[in-house]
A and B are shown apart, each in its own frame.
Chain A
Amino acid sequence: MVVLKLIIKNSFRHTLRTALTVVGLAIAVLAFGLMRTIVDAWYAGVEMSSANRMITRHSVSFIFSLPLSYKDQIAKIPGVTGVSYANWFGGLYGDPNQWENFFPRMAIDPETYFDMYPEFIVPPDQLETFRRERNACVIGKKLADEHRFRIGDAISMEGDIYPGSWTFVVRGIYTGRDKSIDETQMLFHWAYLDESIRAVQPGRAGNIGWYVLEVDDPNRMAGVAEQVDALFMNSRAGTKTETEKEFQQSFVSMSSAIITSLEVISFVIIGIILLVLANTIVMSARERMREYAVLKTIGFSSARIVSLIGGESLLIAAIGTAFGIAGTFPICQMFAEAFPTFFPIFNVAPLTLILCVLIAFGSAALAALFPAVRASRMKIVDGLRAIG
């Protein structure tokens, strides 16, 4: 208890210095936690990918469409147990300069899409109504809460990729199976899009953006991809079939420069944590060399002196980390509320918290290393002459 008291008392001997160190650490841990959460949010789509879903898109680029007629041919390939399709709609809702007005809007096949995505839970009666009405849409709960959309509300928007004025009626609100599921999407009938576009741009009709394939065995995915792509190799629209995870990963890789920057900043923050703590511990240890020499004189071993210095470093790191982690949650919550549709999934992952703790304690150990080695190697007679 006396040694513990000595560690605690020493840690707070210079209250202002310790307080500033704790604040510095807390801010650094908070910044690290926020950065990691942003990077995680970028990868959220990849993480929520299903192990048995595949995506077939145009071989040149995702922005080129594929004929709807491929659907039946794909469904016949051995191993494929279900096929659905979707089309990116885009559109402008409200003031396009407001982040909250940007949310994913997609035309889907109402009969098959929700069977392929069981993680989107729509009440059966709402799903039934949605399937019956051509201009109906289903929206995510987070989107509904953000814009206060209710069942029966009409959502009007201007088309950009598909010109014209569009109105959709909310007939269903889906919730995610767990909190890692994106609840900001708006999904409506592909047939409604196709009919409307056929009237003004007949050449664009009958096309979809991508197919979603359900495969009975994840081990067969490579074979299925080969067969699908071989089937349309000489067609006017070649295909590229890949796992849903690879498909999502390709979107993330478009932002790789930003993600890399964030990761670099995370490492810089780790360096800051180390320097802030090391500065305090080195100063404190230097001031107490005489005391360490006295302790050695009365029989304290070098290992005990190291534990005193290491304990002080760990205690300060623990307090700073605790404050930092406590602050990470409200900051991330504020961040998520500020960009609800840009980062639809913005949760502080347990791994982020574990990393915060490990990095802080690792930094504490490193920060204590130099002064601890110095104190343990110090000759007692030199230490007794030291002026603290």
Chain B
Amino acid sequence: MITVSHVTKSYFRDKIEIPVLSDINLVVPPGEFLALMGPSGSGKSTLLNLIAGIDKPDSGDITVNNTTLQTLNETELAQWRSRSVGFIFQFYNLLPVLTAAENVELPLLLTKLRKKERVKHVDAALKLVGLGDRMDHYPKQLSGGQEQRVAIARAIVTDPTVLVADEPTGDLDKTSAEEILTLLEQLNKEFKKTIVMVTHDPRAAEKAHVVRNLDKGELD
């Protein structure tokens, strides 16, 4: 369960305060697939970042699976992210010097798993996204769709309950985008992952159970 209560957030640009989110309230039940839509600059990604614990609100509370994020310090928040959230970026953000398997293994380095167990988890995650035969490929040897699959494998390898995706199909062609959305749908349905996805793409939003629109920092 994700609960966002009375959250506000502003940024400062050249000492000028720019309000991004104002008094946002949102509840995402476990296992829901939520799409956040809205024009550029509406605060979608900011809200996503707050839910994922990579940014902090100016006021209000965010609770994810009974953990109130504001009560955690930086180190605790990093540990919480590694256990509880999987993040999928628009531009994949794989490390170019590591193979697909090594990229997926990165979050597991923060756990107490031994190498053998880590390899098992990596193997399972890459097979789940259909890249069991691309383990030793470097990102530059993969297509955009394949790179995003590796990024999804990295996001799910620690078996988090929540996945946050920021424009996961924004950099992909139609076919690859469809494959990625199908994969996210599968993760939601079969593995009961709670997914919060920011998108501009109405076809992507169609896959979600719930679509919420954000405009000028306010949720509809």
Q: Which residues of A are in contact with B by a Cβ distance under 8 Å?
A: 1-3, 5-6, 9-10, 13, 290-291, 294-302, 379-381, 384
Contact = CB atoms under 8 A, between A and B. Distances in A.
A6 B97 contact: yes
Contacts of A379: 55
Nearest to B110: A299
- Most chain A beta-carbon contacts within 10 A, residue among B82, B89, B106, B154: B106
Given A297-B52, A299-B78, A381-B49, A2 B93 contact: no
Contacts of B89: 294, 384
Interface in B173-203: none
Contacts of A298: 81-82, 87, 106-107, 110, 154
A156 B81 CA distance: 87
B95 interface: yes
Given A297-B54, A297-B87, A5 B98 contact: yes
B62 to A, nearest CB: 15
B78 A381 contact: no
A299 B86 CA distance: 10
| B: contact size bracket | 20 to 34
B95 A299 contact: no
B210 interface: no
Chain A binding surface, main DSSP class: helix
A18 to B, nearest CB: 13
B137 to A, nearest CB: 15
B interface secondary structure, majority: helix
Nearest to B83: A299
A284 to B, nearest CB: 12
A290 B93 contact: yes
B79 interface: yes
A168 B183 CA distance: 97
Interface in B64-112: 74-75, 78-79, 81-83, 87, 89, 93, 95, 97-98, 102, 105-107, 109-110
Nearest to B93: A294
16 contacts: A2-B102, A2-B106, A5-B98, A10-B97, A290-B93, A291-B93, A291-B95, A296-B78, A297-B87, A298-B106, A299-B78, A300-B110, A302-B74, A302-B78, A384-B89, A384-B93
A380 B82 contact: no
A135 to B, nearest CB: 75
A226 to B, nearest CB: 68
B55 A6 contact: no
Contacts of A10: 97
A114 B49 CA distance: 84
Nearest to B11: A381
A104 B9 CA distance: 83
Please provide the 4 A-B residue pairs with the shortest distance between their CB atoms, ordered closest to farther. Answer: A299-B82, A9-B97, A380-B54, A294-B93
Given A13-B97, A384-B93, 16 more contacts: A2-B106, A3-B109, A5-B102, A6-B97, A10-B97, A296-B54, A297-B54, A298-B81, A299-B79, A299-B81, A299-B82, A299-B83, A300-B78, A301-B74, A301-B78, A302-B78
B97 A299 contact: no
Contacts of B75: 301
Contacts of B97: 5-6, 9-10, 13
Contact of B98 (A2, A297, A299, A380): A2
Contacts of B87: 297-298
B54 A381 contact: yes
A379 B56 CA distance: 10
Nearest to B157: A298
Contacts of B78: 296, 299-302
Nearest to A3: B109
B95 A6 contact: yes
A294 B105 CA distance: 14
